[in-house]
Amino acid sequence: MLEIRNLVVDIEDKRILNGLDLTVNTGEVAAIMGPNGSGKSTLSYVIAGKEDYTVVDGEILLDGESILELEPFERAAKGVFLAFQYPLEIPGVGTMTFLKAALNAQRKARGEAELTTPDLMRRVKAAATKLAIDPEMLKRPLNVGFSGGEKKRMEILQMALLEPSLCILDETDSGLDIDALKIVADGVNALRAPDRSSLVITHYQRLLDYIVPDTVHVMANGRVVRSGGKELAIELEANGYADYRQQAA
């Protein structure tokens, strides 16, 4: 379970998050919506532990434990997974190599046995098939020369393999056409589980047609300003963010 209390975050002395409160229960899929610049991506980076952000105040608890002092890789080992809005290219590093390195690093941190290469291959191929990822892509360097849609699918593939307890999807729908969006959404839905929480960050309601959230939170001016059920997303689609912008200003 993720619990965020009164989170205040600066980047280079500029306040981005301003007393944010948010609770995501175990097994719940929560959507975070909000206008551009409301601090949605910052929230995802701060949970994952990106360096450039200064946490001025507040607390982030994962299963009751604070994770603020942990390094990003320690958070990852605890089950935090961030699907990046803009996945990074790593030239020369084969996709399989990367997957194996990441998976085994996390397994080791959790005291689990490492996967053998054939075992890994089986798992990767199974996951890749579901996401309609061409096996040839797995032979190429990670994300290098991938299209926007391919990169996003690769993020979901990693998510499926790493089996996190908290999935954060940062604008995963951006740059996807409708077919790719469906594939990605199916991938995410397949990972729904009673012991796994998800935080789906999006600007548009469209994604939520495919990944139906349990709760919807609206962010503005670095805070959650309204929470509700999935019907809130539909209301936002109809009325836009104008009300919240004014509220923010």
Least distance between another protein and beta carbon 227 (Å): 27
Draw the binding track, 80-99, toward another protein (x: CB under 8 A; -: no contact): xxx-x--xxxxxxxx--xx-
Q: Using CB under 8 A, which of 25, 66, 117, 189 touches another protein?
A: 117
Query: Binding segment for another protein among 106-114, 121-129, 210-218, 232-240 (CB under 8 A)?
Result: 106-114
The residues, ordered by sequence, that sit 6+ positions from 243 with a Cβ below 8 Å of its Cβ are none
Beta strand spans in 98-152 (E):
none
Q: Using CB under 8 A, which of 4, 43, 100, 176 touches another protein?
A: 100
Q: Within positions 160 to 219, which residues make up the interface with another protein, using CB under 8 A? A: 162
Pick from 84, 95, 36, 45: which is nearest to 244 by CA?
Answer: 36
Least distance between another protein and beta carbon 145 (Å): 14
Which two structure tokens, joined as six digits, stand for 183?
Answer: 């594939």
Pick from 8, 219, 204: which is nearest to 227 by CA?
Answer: 219
Query: Binding segment for another protein among 104-112, 123-131, 174-182, 205-213 (CB under 8 A)?
Result: 104-112
The residues, ordered by sequence, that sit 6+ positions from 1 with a Cβ below 8 Å of its Cβ are 23, 24, 25, 26, 62, 63, 64, 197
Give the dihedral sign, CA 84/76/184/118. Answer: positive
Residues near another protein (CB under 8 A): 48-52, 71-73, 75-77, 80-82, 84, 87-94, 97-98, 100-106, 109, 114, 117, 141, 158, 162
